[in-house]
Chain A
Amino acid sequence: MEKFTTLQSKAVPLPMENIDTDQIIPARFLKVTNKIGFGNNLFRDWRFDDVDKPTASFVLNDDTYSGKILVAGDNFGCGSSREHAAWALADYGFKVIVSSYFADIFKGNALNNGLLPIQVSPEFLKEVLGLVTKRPETKIIVDLENQTIQVDGIDLKESFEIDPYKKLCMINGYDDIDFLVSNKDKIEAFEVNRSKKESIVI
């Protein structure tokens, strides 16, 4: 996994609420067996019309906006557990998603792919969405070590929460598999010591 420490970037505003993972990557693109190229189909049905022509009004087709930060409405990533949604956002080039709320599974999937979900207050989100929309050149600075997000040049800053273990993983580029495999002795001991009635291996 790629390491993440700080990021300074312009941002793309997507104020819609309850953006589900079916919108992020529709099911018909989940038929492949690798993780490559999902960015091409990110927000496919909002980004392209039914004859695959780019939809001019959609923000990713608007040259005014660019950057590695997506600022989205409340409850981002709800619905299906498909990790393909995190792969698509990362493959497209996003490193950070800012919202006032993230669905659990999406949040975990993002963190497992070096994509940082930053939960901010609804007030902060509203201000940032407004600013980024009106002034597309606005830069946002994310500092994972200090757990802060701020708008460059003005007094708009907030701290964010992240699980200390996950923070360590992001900063060092570790993932959970190495950690779990290194605990195999404990896991095997657990299997041996649990009572028969609790064990399901039949």
Chain B
Amino acid sequence: MQTYYSDLLVIGAGLAGERVAVDSAEKGFNVTCLSIVPARRSHSSAAQGGMQAALGNSAKGEGDCPDIHFGDTVKGSDWGCDQEVARLFADASPIEMRRLAHWGVPWNRVVPGQSFYFKGGQKFEKYEKPENEGLITARAFGGTAKWRTCYTSDGTGHAVMCTMDNRCAQLGINVLDRKEAIALLHDGETCMGAIVRCLRTGQLEAFISKATAICTGGFGRIYKATTNAVICDGGGHIIAMDTGLVPIGNPEAIQFHPTGIVPTDILVTEGCRGDGGTLLDVNEERFMNIYEPEKAELASRDVVSRWMTHHMREGKGVKSAYGEHLWLDIRHLGDKHISTKLREVDEICHHFLGVDPRTELIPVRPTQHYTMAGIRTNKDGAVYGLKGLFSAGEVACWDMHGFNRLGGNSLAETVVAGGIIGAKIVEFLEGYETKIKTDIVTQEYKKQEQRIQDLISGRNGSENVYDVRNDMQEALMKGCFVFRNGPDLEETVETLQKVLDRAGHIGLKSDGLGVNHELAAALKIKGQVKLALMIAKGALDRTESRGSHNRVDFPERNDAEWLTRTLAYWKEDATLPDLQYEDASPVFEIPPGERGYGGGTIIPADEQFVKERMIKKDK
């Protein structure tokens, strides 16, 4: 057995993972990052739009401050977030953007003087102050009071990922690609690393560590229609959940992005609407301004996706061979803007649609995009249930997003949370010693070896992994998409339980040798179906509508009963998740109230409950 040792093992080398790694490496700890792809191919690099930080440098961001950013984030979350965490995030974000500038990110900067921008298809004028020339500028995103999203063209994730990976190279961090963690090493109390499958040779290896951080991104690929890269398949969630000790927070909180292109579900950035693009229906007429007079196309994603779905159900969708869709219109932004600020969008339209967005409309519809759901951690990023295990980024439920995250807040979260949690891991590691139980390492290694042998030999059955996966994906699309209701969710749970049974009887069709993809898929299918069941059961039991979770049969946001976070555990040999609940936020800076968009009624929380938790601020 090939065995590696490090002080900190980071599973996943996207933005969150590498940012977590940097702090420990700077302090002289030995750090290893594992990634299933070369780090720069991580899905962080696909994020186009930008990162929210209340720098307030641009004219339309004037007067911005972390308090306003905090408020937008809490409203965006539909009061589902942990307000302590949202506060930590909003305060640290501007500093982190400056740190990234210092490390090398080519942020777009303030250009002084007169310029034009579009909103709702109309042209407006703005003046950038000469004294702010050259500071980091920002663009508009949905659900925000100010222009706050820092960006590098529409390749922000890519640009920041390059810089972060450069920083890791500079610090000599071992970033190993083509390594997939398939099980955590733990004794029921403490995590001591992971068993890893090498995606060069197919061999198993043991990575032993004092501290382990899971930073593997979201799990959108368990849906059929998703903007996510094929690597966003829940691998990190599964190894945590498989311990039986670690809960998935708010599994029912899944975001659907308004502008996935049809048919490939590739994302075109929210920046299109932020920069003034509009949504049109079959008659090429705007509709968001009717549903949301105030925010229009720039309401939060859950709200826009909901109205788009509603509008298509009213018969206003465009019919196509790939089902109904609506149009995104950025024609009026003009050639220069599209060629410089929306380049990726331009390329995607060209390569995947054969459309020129300067003269033609872009076919779009809501598509799975983001998992607010994730491995539940405390505000230090320490995972519930296992000592020495941390988590950051989309994979985690830290939880600043609650039931809907704002555009530009997730990419910012990767580096801001990465920085905060990275520092907490340093505190944890300083002076910390542990005993590595080699019997546990050997047992787990053998167990995983056996699992692989069983899949190859077909000992458990001959189900085709791709068929099983497809049935899981279809079930989620049917029951757990933008709108949900009791009877459909009950059916989905039943369907998924049958799929789970089949997932236990997979047998490979191929030989499973080397970097075999069928084996990789088979190793995680059971865990994926369990995640799917957590979504469905969590959604079934949550009898209210909050953020992205819309129950047609329970349209009110019910703060009296559901101002809570779901904690979903999977106990060994169970056929359904065990759902527990905790308060959504230990404290309130902003008491539960109206978002100002999205409509709907609220069943208020108990006044005394809210009062007891209000933070008293010194004025």
A binds B: no
Which residues of A are interface residues toward B (Cβ below 8 A)?
Answer: none
